[in-house]
Structure 1
Amino acid sequence: AQGKQLQTFSVGYRDNKKYFHATKFQPGADAPYIRKMNDFLHARHHWITLDTPELVPALYAAVDARDLPGMADVDASLLLFCRQIKPHATVALSGECADEIFGGYPWYRDPAVREKYGFPWAQSTAYRASFLKPGVLGSIDPAAFVDARYRQTLAETSVRPGLSAEEQRMRQMMNLNFKWFMQTLLDRKDRMSMYSGLEVRVPFCDYRIAEYLYSVPWEYKDYRNQEKGLLREAMRGVLPDEVLWRRKSPYPKTWNPSYLAAVTAELRGVLTDPAAPILRIIKADALENLLTSGADNPIPWYGQLMTTPQTIAWFVQLNYWLEKYKVELV
């Protein structure tokens, strides 16, 4: 409108083309679609490529930004991405919340996952608790703690009488996502961006869109059995078809084995220090087992993207947080 060229930014990782392998959650690489969009927009694009030597130190900066251990390199990479956007722009637009509001996640669409009891992105409470030393929890029962919050969220879900069982479940799924998963991602985006003085706006999170979409029947959100079908249909003729109908692919992570090697070395360094605060609460042998488990532990720590490398990195973050914030156990 002002005669200026639009600037666009993407994040990727060194050698990801070499190491990437398609999964149920991450079916394909982003680069071909980024090129198509930028040809379409005539934008000035900035390809931001991250590498392991930057990602590991950024794990600590991400704890500083969040004031807590977070989503490991899923946080750290976003922090580095924002840091590189800042010299070119002070305000950026991002697409968070479209999946929550329009029903894009696998746990909305896969009936087996949808009907499973509990938070669909955090089915690993027993696995997480298995790392804790005996006596650390006192009278706390992790499964009961998580279960109480899950049940409370379902009880607080607004469901009008007369809805089918499927529609009732979809309302519950929307509320679970709004109250928990979406909050985590919005907090992540806000903290990682503001750490570099970048303002990121999330237009899909406009409360009017969220309120309206909440009660739109699932058959429309899943229009033509397509993830975010209603949103795609609304954009028909506006976006290039290859982009418009592309299967959902989440925020990218590194597949480079050098990252697993680097975070493994980082945690091994922690384990060699008898005074490491993490060893007061976490079993050293459980961490050793994690380090030797290989890259494809089938139990995600959180969400879809946090597998073994990210779990190792999370424990590195936890130790740093305990140390830096001088956390005392009472």
Structure 2
Amino acid sequence: MCGIAGFLGLNGGTIERRLIEKMTDCLQHRGPNDRGILLIDPEKGLFERLRNPEDPSRLTDAPVALGHRRLSILDLSSHASQPMGEKEAGVWLVFNGEIYNFIELREELKENGYRFHTTSDTEVVLKAYLAWGTDCFAKFNGMWALAIYDHRVRKMILSRDRFGKKPLYYVRVPGGVLFSSEIKSLLKHSAVSREPDLVRIINYAGRHYRYVDIDDRSFFREISQFPKACHGHVRPDGSFHTQRYWSLLPQDPLLDAEHSEDEIVAEFRSLLHSAVTLRLRSDVPVACMLSGGMDSTSITSLAAQVNPDFTAFSGVTGTGYYDESKYIDAVVGKTGIRSCYVRPRPAEVLPTLKEMLLRHDEPVCTVTWLSLFLIAKEISSAEIPVILTGHGGDELLAGYWDHYHHFFYDLRSAGKDDSAEYQAWLRNHRRDPDEYRREKKYVEDLQKDHSLEVRRFSQYLSALSPELQSSIEEPNFDAPFRDSLRRRCWLELLYETVPPVLRAEDRNTMAFSIEARVPFLDYRLAEFCFRLPIEYKIRNGLGKWILREAMRGVLPEKVRTRKDKTGFNAPLDEWIRNDLRKPLEEMIARHSYVNQSIYSQKAVKALFRRHLAGENHYMFFWQYINLNFWAETFLER
């Protein structure tokens, strides 16, 4: 795990050594263990690699530059430092991430005659590109954002992992293209504008966080994200020619007639165990983030089977509904691992959020990430550089409340009776029958008009300023799955919920030089889960049925059979009515960019009064506070 930066000159453009060093060094938190700069003049055949700011160089500027900050995880020696290259071939690499199947790929490359001088996955990436070209990316099981300069074809090639776990931003500047792991690095160039992207702001401020990542924009108009699951190279005009190397598309379903139920559960268990085991490969200590839910408890328990010398870090942000300590303690007791609790307080919310935005560069999707930021800080204090997390399980295995209603619809559409599942759902979750009737109509209407799901999460568009309301665009999705539950999970996995989660997790953990690994997002497991019949996801009125079955004997029964859902949440609605009330009142009263250009100040005041009176608009105010702090930090300068 690292930070990368680079430049490719176009039409004679160059970058100063001093600037690429600034871009790279502001990523030190992502890689505190080592630093490397490579300056390339293709016409002169000069390749100068620099480790320290005082290193002499014949080049004060260069048409091609690569920068790297290293967080040492695999092969801690200096031999695995970057930029790493094959001088004879003229191919150089900067790489952020981990390739978990690097051992297997290295053996395959050795059989093809390639020799290795390190035990790092970085060298495997380099040799894989030399052996297979851009076809290598489809062979990787991991997370990555990388740049390869290939002098043989005079191209800068970028690539990003299947789910976009590792960030990669780029911007066109006079004379070339800049790229980096973080936006703050690109802003070191004086020509990069801080002008906000209004479409991104509209989707964040008015539509919940679900529609922020429907495209490759950032919160800065000129800065874009390199697309996930793609590789590409820079064209002469500064645009990218990209090619997708992986897509999550419909495959032949797993049928009960061909596979027994026990076989399907066993295959799922094997894939999940493999995903966890691969992500424990490390030359430094590994820990886990543990809530009381099914996903993180499953990952933690499987990891503890492989490595009992393990620590779990958890956050408890309140009492009652928000306190999952009884489930966490049950897992700790069964596995015998060590545990550590972090307990965020209301007084920490605003100062912590200000600190987070300096690390994130963009507004944060939910209050969950404040708790996880504080947990990451605690993990850093324990000097543990790698953690496992449970993200992705809800999207793969139908873990959200609305998934039940899409499931009921699919049962009816298949000519099956949903009454038994409906009754089990009522018993298990104590839901209102009116909700079933209301959601039944919504899901049926949704099949005729998919824009309904966008409008469902657009309840705060009316609180935006008149100028922004006139710029509203309707997002449009073309999902390859026709059945309702699979379509909903696919949208959440690739666009709505997982992308902002991965972005927030990367910034939270890398702020403290920690690498986060996500076993549920092993592409093999994702492909398998989207082949499952829906009854393997929801059964007997409970979601994640196949995970519950696979974890028999592994999880404590009180966790495995748990019916409610909390996660790393916080009682922000209560905090707004109490500890945060006064600072929020002052923020709403300010004559600020956010109050004048993004929101209608009158509408915000009305929502605040309604929240104080008992309605729950905590999500709106979380995003409102975020945009205020973000604007103060990056725009109001």
Q: Show the counterpart of 1:311.
A: 620
Partner of 1:322: 631
SS in 2 for 1:130: helix
Pairing partner for 2:389 from 50, 70, 94? 94
Equivalent residues of 2:387, 2:514 under 8 A apart = yes
* Cα displacement (A) at 1:3: 7.7
Find the aligned partners of 1:48 and 1:246 in 2 and give their Cα distance: 23
Find out whether 1:175 has 2:495 as its counterpart: no
Q: Tell me the secondary structure at the aligned position of residue 567 of structure 2.
A: coil
Contact 2:308 2:336 in 1 (8 A): no
Task: Determine which structure has the larger strand proportion and give its number.
Answer: 2
Shift of the alpha carbon at 1:312? 1.7
1:313 aligned partner, one-letter code: W
Sequence identity, in percent? Answer: 22
The structure-2 alpha-carbon separation of the partners of 1:297 and 1:208, relative to structure 1 and needing over 3 Å to count, comes to: farther
Match of 2:403 among 108, 119, 124: 108
CA distance in structure 2 between the aligned counterparts of 1:63 and 1:70, rounded to whole angstroms? 7
8 Å CA contact 1:72–1:317 kept in 2: the answer is no
Deviation per CA, 1:203-255: give whole Å up to 9, x if none.
Answer: 01100000111121101222444210011101112222111111241323332
Asked if the contact 2:316–2:323 (Cα under 8 Å) also holds between the matched residues in 1, the reply is no
RMSD: 2.7
Verify: 1:136 aligned to 2:136, yes or no: no
- Name the counterpart of 1:212: 528
1:215–1:325 CA distance, 2 compared to 1 (3 A): same
Aligned partners of 1:270 and 1:276 also within 8 Å:
no
In structure 2, stretches of 5+ residues that fail to align are 1-304, 409-438
Q: What SS is found at the alignment partner of 2:566?
A: coil
Mean CA deviation greater in 28-37 or 262-271 = 262-271
Amino acid in the other structure paired with 1:131: A
**Residue 292 of structure 1 corresponds to which residue in structure 2?**
609
Give the match's secondary structure for 2:610: coil
Identify if the C-alpha distance between structure 1 residues 2 and 70 changes in structure 2 by more than 3 Å, giving closer, same or farther.
closer
TM-score, normalising length: structure 1: 0.79
More helix by share: 1
**Residue 93 of structure 1 contacts residue 200 of structure 1 at CA under 8 Å; is this kept in 2?**
yes
Match of 2:587 among 270, 282, 302: 270
1:145-175 Cα deviation digits (max 9, x unpaired): 13xx2xx233xx145xxxxxxxx11221121
Scaled by the length of structure 2, what TM-score is found? 0.43
Aligned pairs for 1:119-198 within 5 A: 123-125=456-458, 127-138=459-470, 140-142=471-473, 145-146=474-475, 149=476, 152-154=477-479, 157-158=480-481, 168-180=483-495, 181-198=497-514
- Distance (Å, rounded) in 1 between the aligned partners of 2:356 and 2:454: 21
Q: 1:52 aligns with which of 341, 346, 350?
A: 346
| CA contact 1:267–1:315 (8 Å) conserved in 2 | no
Contact 1:264-1:312 at 8 Å conserved across structures: no
2:465 aligned partner, one-letter code: K
The equivalent residue for 1:63 is 357
What is the rounded CA distance, in whole Å, between the counterparts of 2:597 and 2:559 in structure 1?
49
Quick one: distance in 2 between partners of 1:51 and 1:246?
27
Q: What is the deviation of 1:189? A: 1.5
* Residue among 312, 325, 329 paired with 1:31: 325
Structure 1 residues 11-30: aligned runs within 5 Å: 11-13=315-317, 16-17=318-319, 20=320, 22=321, 29-30=323-324
Question: CA, structure 1 residues 260+193, in 2 after alignment: closer, same or farther (shift >3 Å)?
Answer: farther
Give 3-state SS (helix, strand or coil) of 2:466's partner. coil
Q: Indicate conservation of the 8 Å contact 1:58/1:77, yes or no.
A: no
Q: Which residue of 1 aligns with 2:597?
A: 280
The residue aligned with 1:229 is 545
Q: CA deviation at 1:68?
A: 1.8
Matched, 1:247 2:563: yes
1 or 2 for the larger relative contact order (CA 8 Å, sep ≥6)? 1
Asked if 2 retains the 8 angstrom alpha-carbon contact of 1:193 and 1:200, the reply is yes
SS of 1:92's equivalent in the other structure is strand
Is the 1:100–1:177 Cα contact (8 Å) retained in structure 2?
Answer: yes
Of 108-117 and 74-83, more deviation after overlay is shown by: 108-117
Distance 2:385 2:546 in 1: 32
Deviation of 1:275 after TM superposition, in Å, equals 4.1
Q: Which has the larger radius of gyration?
A: 2
Q: How many Å separate the matches in 2 of 1:4 and 1:38? A: 11
